[in-house]
Amino acid sequence: MNDKKQGILDVSLKLFVERGFHGTSTAEIAKTAGVATGTLFHYFKTKEELINTLYLNIKGCMLNDVKGNYNDKESFKENVKKLWLKFINFGINNPYKFQFILIFHSSPYITSLTKEQAETRFVEVMEIYKKGIEKNEIKMVYNEMVMDYFWGNIFGTVSHFTKYPENLNEKNINLAFELFWDGISK
């Protein structure tokens, strides 16, 4: 991706999180990114296209941070914990990206096609839960429910430690995981 396009995405991220979709104009994005409005529209035909591209970009960044192979030498619980911790760390270390996903995950501005593209990227990552069902270690639930429960826990945990950073320590991280684990394990 070229520098101008990436600059527009970076500026858009910050402005969309701080001001929302309607509170952020394309003129303001262009000005803050140091490009002409025409340049912005060269890369993104509409503000809706820009926000959808940004959504896919951020989901891709998250996926790169959390990728990892299932380790058969470790317990299923340890594999789930490693995956869970990667998502928690992404959220804590990338507050604007995390907030953007939290704010716009259910937004009507993110098209169903974009959401579908983003979620299909995570299918591989979420395969770990199928192993848990096969091993009879987690409750028998359908895929969408376990994924929504997982995401809800990630959002809640990161939001908690963002609100109460003084409580962010290994003991409380482990406690948060155990609360999650108790919800899915048999």
Tell me the pLDDT of the chain (186 aa) as tens digits: 689 999 999 999 999 999 999 999 999 999 999 999 999 999 999 999 999 999 999 999 998 898 877 788 999 999 999 999 999 999 999 999 999 999 998 899 999 999 888 888 777 767 787 788 888 888 888 878 888 888 899 999 999 999 999 999 999 999 999 999 999 998
CATH topology of domain 47-184: Tetracycline Repressor; domain 2 (1.10.357)
* pLDDT at residue 1 in the model: 60
| Digit-coded pLDDT (tens) for 46-63 | 999 999 999 999 999 998
Alpha-carbon distance of 154 to 91, in angstroms, equals 8
Burial category of 65 from C-beta neighbours within 10 Å (exposed 0-12, middle 13-18, buried 19 and up): middle
Q: DSSP letter at 122?
A: T
Same fold, 1-45 and 47-184: no
Which position has the token pair 């979709």?
21
For the domain spanning 1-45, the CATH number is 1.10.10.60
Diameter of the chain by CA atoms? Answer: 57
Closest CA to 117 of 53, 37, 49: 53
DSSP-H helix ranges across 20-127: 26-33, 37-43, 47-66, 76-93, 95-104, 112-121, 123-126
Parse the chain into domains and list their residue ranges. Answer: 1-45, 47-184
For residue 48, CA distances in Å to 33, 36, 166 come to 18, 18, 38
